[in-house]
């Protein structure tokens, strides 16, 4: 029985969903542009293959001298480049992308045992989940289940959350980004039959709704808890403009995370949360006309504040999926917003030129402006969710 369940789950795509009741009306111009952009992305990443040393992963551009900045496997973004390589292999069927993904995954594989980070979803599920989905090689199942077990060690049942960081002055910090790592746990329950993984994911998501979100459905970045009592000690920011502000990528993480949690659980509370977050984003008075957000919706200097393309990529991918779960009117609204985001991301304002931008696809993301880190540069996760969104658009448009 369990064997049959596993192969049933394996046939379901991990990242790009095959069948839902609704899909959006195709914009023929954007469909053509999506193909053109994916072909460009493939050429750009072919260049990157030749420029990244074999022992590291691409990360961003060094703002000091414009050179390529890389990371080792412990950095939280290490899974995105091989994950994007799998997406490009799926699109092009070019074996060079599969070979590249496998080469970089060999660097990351040992992180399955890492119990010192909450980012194992990003690090492991993006590359190994896609590898399992695309190749059907069940060897990846063991790696992913070990990763889920490692992530689960960071869960505190008194608090009801997975601890994000082991550094800083906080006692038990939980960041909104952590919603993105729950998909690894819901997957682990489905394929293993062990319900504890999904229970942790749901408890974390529920606690986050309770303590991270303001009445207007904007999110705090960091909530610090007392590990002994579960009480909220403080609500802060680490990468946003202020503790009271709405850091744009954090809003996108939440939108994507709760959309995913609805897909995995069919719990309507998660769908309602995702809808409210989407409406906060799209109806925000500080959202630019092209729907590419400022790095913080309350950033000083608006309208001259920097944009964060990574927030737009994550949000666009999430909105496409959310559009499939809502009523027709809201679905159309979310779909159209995602189309506008993608159309503008495909424009010269944000899309790099071939052979430039250190071979990344998109320009103008912001990692952490308060720390003067990764400011107005390409980011590997902006590329990942952008390619994912383009593939989703091509698959779901009708």
Residue 102 tokens, joined: 């496998």
Residue 199 pLDDT more than 50? yes
- Work out the mean pLDDT of the chain and round it to a whole number: 94
* Distance between CA atoms of residues 79 and 373, nearest Å: 20
Residue 107 pLDDT more than 70? yes
**Percent of the chain at pLDDT above 70?**
94
Which of 387, 397, 318, 390 has its CA nearest to residue 97?
387
Residue 9 pLDDT more than 60? no
pLDDT tens track for 206-237: 999 999 999 999 999 999 999 999 999 999 99
Position 167 scores a pLDDT of 85
User: Which residue has better confidence, 320 or 169?
Assistant: 320
Q: Are 40 and 48 in contact (CB under 8 A)?
A: no
**Percent of the chain at pLDDT above 90?**
92
Q: Are 299 and 345 in contact (CB under 8 A)?
A: no
Position 93 scores a pLDDT of 98
User: Which residue has better confidence, 168 or 193?
Assistant: 193
Position 203 scores a pLDDT of 98
CATH of domain 23-52+265-398: 1.50.10.10
Indicate the pLDDT class of residue 398, thresholds 50, 70 and 90.
confident
* Distance between CA atoms of residues 68 and 59, nearest Å: 8
Q: Are 30 and 343 in contact (CB under 8 A)?
A: yes
Q: Are 322 and 336 in contact (CB under 8 A)?
A: no
pLDDT tens track for 48-89: 999 999 999 999 999 999 999 999 999 999 999 999 999 999
Which range, of 163-172, 173-182, 243-252, averages the lowest pLDDT? 163-172
Position 22 scores a pLDDT of 64
User: In the chain, helix, strand, coil percent, each to 5?
Assistant: 55, 10, 35
Mean pLDDT in residue range 113-139: 98
Instruction: Give the SS3 label for residue 36.
Output: helix
Position 17 scores a pLDDT of 41
**Backbone angles phi and psi of 304, in degrees to 5:** -100, 10
pLDDT tens track for 234-257: 999 999 999 999 999 999 999 999
pLDDT tens track for 15-42: 444 334 467 888 999 999 999 999 999 9
The DSSP bridge partners found for residue 213 are 219
Position 24 scores a pLDDT of 86
Domain positions in the chain are 23-52+265-398, 72-153, 157-236
Position 25 scores a pLDDT of 87
Residue 289 pLDDT more than 50? yes
R_g over Cα of the chain: 19
Catalytic residue annotation: 119, 177
Position 225 scores a pLDDT of 98
Position 311 scores a pLDDT of 99
User: Which residue has better confidence, 10 or 303?
Assistant: 303
Instruction: Give the SS3 label for residue 398.
Output: coil
Which range, of 61-65, 112-116, 164-168, averages the lowest pLDDT? 164-168
């Amino acid at each position: 029985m369990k064997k049959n369940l596993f192969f049933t789950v394996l046939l379901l795509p991990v990242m790009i969903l095959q069948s839902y009741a609704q899909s959006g009306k195709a914009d023929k111009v954007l469909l053509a542009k999506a193909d053109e952009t994916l072909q460009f992305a493939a050429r750009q990443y072919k260049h990157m293959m030749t420029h990244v040393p074999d022992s590291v992963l691409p990360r961003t551009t060094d703002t000091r001298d414009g050179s390529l900045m890389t990371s080792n496997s412990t950095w939280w973004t290490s899974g995105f480049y091989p994950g994007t390589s799998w997406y490009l292999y799926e699109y092009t069927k070019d074996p060079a992308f599969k070979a590249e993904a496998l080469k970089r995954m060999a660097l990351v594989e040992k992180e399955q045992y890492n119990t010192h980070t909450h980012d194992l979803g990003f690090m492991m599920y993006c590359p190994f989940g896609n590898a399992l989905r695309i190749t059907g090689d069940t060897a990846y199942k063991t790696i992913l289940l070990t990763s889920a077990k490692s992530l689960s060690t960071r869960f505190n049942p008194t608090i009801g959350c997975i601890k994000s960081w082991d550094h800083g002055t906080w006692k038990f910090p939980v960041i909104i980004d952590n919603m993105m790592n729950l998909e690894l746990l819901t997957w682990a329950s489905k394929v293993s039959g062990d319900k504890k993984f999904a229970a942790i994911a749901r408890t974390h998501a529920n606690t986050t709704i309770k303590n991270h979100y303001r009445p207007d459905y904007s999110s705090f970045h960091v909530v610090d808890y007392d590990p002994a009592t579960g009480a909220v000690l403080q609500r802060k920011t680490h990468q946003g403009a202020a503790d009271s502000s709405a850091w744009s990528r954090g809003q996108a993480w939440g939108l994507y995370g709760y959309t995913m949690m609805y897909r995995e659980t069919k719990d309507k509370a998660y769908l309602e949360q995702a809808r409210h977050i989407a409406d906060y984003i799209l109806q925000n008075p500080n959202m630019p006309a092209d729907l590419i957000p400022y790095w913080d919706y309350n950033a000083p200097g608006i309208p001259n504040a920097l944009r964060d393309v990574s927030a737009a990529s994550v949000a666009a991918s999430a909105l496409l999926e959310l559009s499939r779960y809502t009523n027709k009117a809201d679905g159309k609204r979310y779909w159209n917003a995602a189309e506008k985001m993608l159309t503008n991301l495909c424009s010269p304002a944000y899309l790099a030129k071939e052979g430039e931008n250190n071979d990344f696809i998109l320009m103008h993301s912001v990692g952490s402006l308060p720390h003067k880190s990764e400011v107005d540069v390409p980011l590997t996760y902006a590329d990942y969710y952008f390619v994912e969104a383009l593939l989703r658009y091509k698959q779901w448009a009708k």
